Structure 1
């Protein structure tokens, strides 16, 4: 296995560590250990960035040393999807974003993967990511990063007994929460709005793959 493919596999290996530190941060916050919570969520974010950087690095190395292969393209694509979807599902569980965000994202990934498999069977080549696919990945990375920052801000500024309500926007129905945590609530809605923008671009990206390869699908 060449170095670019090893980096793609490393991306998957880092996922449990990203999730583990994030859940440790959440547990620390509910135990009123704010400094520990903030430090551990930042560590989780750094690990996520490291995993995301391997996506940039493995592609560059593959092109530089002429290690581009169908296997590498598939592994790289799968590693990206697992990283993003696993992190999004974790963010839903923590209460940072809506559950529909990873659900719609997953549906798009199934569609694109199916198209790629059909193309691989009929032409023997793997469809490379287009502009919309690359933009989708970039916006998703930014949206996930903002979610981590929201978590750090919430852990630092909110009382442990209020976190559950704040993370799930329960504070909307309580004037006490609105007055005390107005900036945090605004951050919550901004965070979710950005995540939904990533979903819109994700759907558009999936449609471009379908449109560009619709003849293959009809033939199949």
Structure 2
């Protein structure tokens, strides 16, 4: 039985978050399966990215924020990004060192945030939000098979634009990590 003002855990925002978690192994399977075009992998990634925006919007606008949602959303975001980066590195589209830096940053900052959560919940800052946006668009751009529908030189520009977004994300990953570390030290 729930209290009058308590938000039920089973709600549309949390359902979308769980869907995003389910889409991570689907993305891995689609991307690694021979004969399945990259468009399918891009489609799964894009759907998962849209659910990230939608679940947050619904949770805030409809008062559906739950502790489960806060935790699961963060896990789903990290799982999607880490899985995608690993896929891109496995397929030779992204240097492994870039993937490793992103993974170490994500896991390190998550561990640090969990250590200080009793004193303060460290919300994502401006740099972290820029990182996530650049990372998502960069990954999506590297998943798209540009050469299948654009002339070679234009396809190359699109691929390089995706790499620029990954570089921007890497810069903001390090910048936001430093911001989190400074905030944690002050606590």
Q: How does 1:1-220 map to 2 (within 5 A)?
A: 1-24=10-33, 27-28=34-35, 40-123=37-120, 126-149=121-144, 152-154=145-147, 156=148, 189-216=160-187
Residue aligned with 2:46, SS? helix
Select the structure that is richer in helix: 1
The change in CA–CA distance for 1:59 and 1:188 in structure 2 (over 3 A counts) is closer
Report the RMSD for the aligned CA atoms in angstroms: 2.3
- Deviations along 1:160-201, one digit per CA (max 9) or x if unpaired, are xxxxxxxxxxxxxxxxxxxxx777666655543432221111
Return the alpha-carbon distance in structure 1 between the equivalents of residues 65 and 154 of structure 2: 47
Gaps of 5+ in 1: 29-36, 158-180
Q: Which has the higher contact order (CA 8 A, sep 6+)?
A: 1
Residue aligned with 1:95, SS? coil
Deviation at 1:89, TM superposition (A): 0.2
Do the aligned residues in 2 keep the contact of 1:55 with 1:80 (CA within 8 Å)? yes
How high is the TM-score relative to the length of structure 2? 0.82
Return the alpha-carbon distance in structure 2 between the equivalents of residues 41 and 185 of structure 1: 16
Deviation at 1:153, TM superposition (A): 3.2
- Deviations along 1:44-91, one digit per CA (max 9) or x if unpaired, are 211111101111111111112212233321211111011001011001
Return the alpha-carbon distance in structure 2 between the equivalents of residues 64 and 194 of structure 1: 30
In our comparison, the structure showing a higher alpha carbon Rg is: 1
Q: What is the number of equivalent residue pairs in this alignment?
A: 176
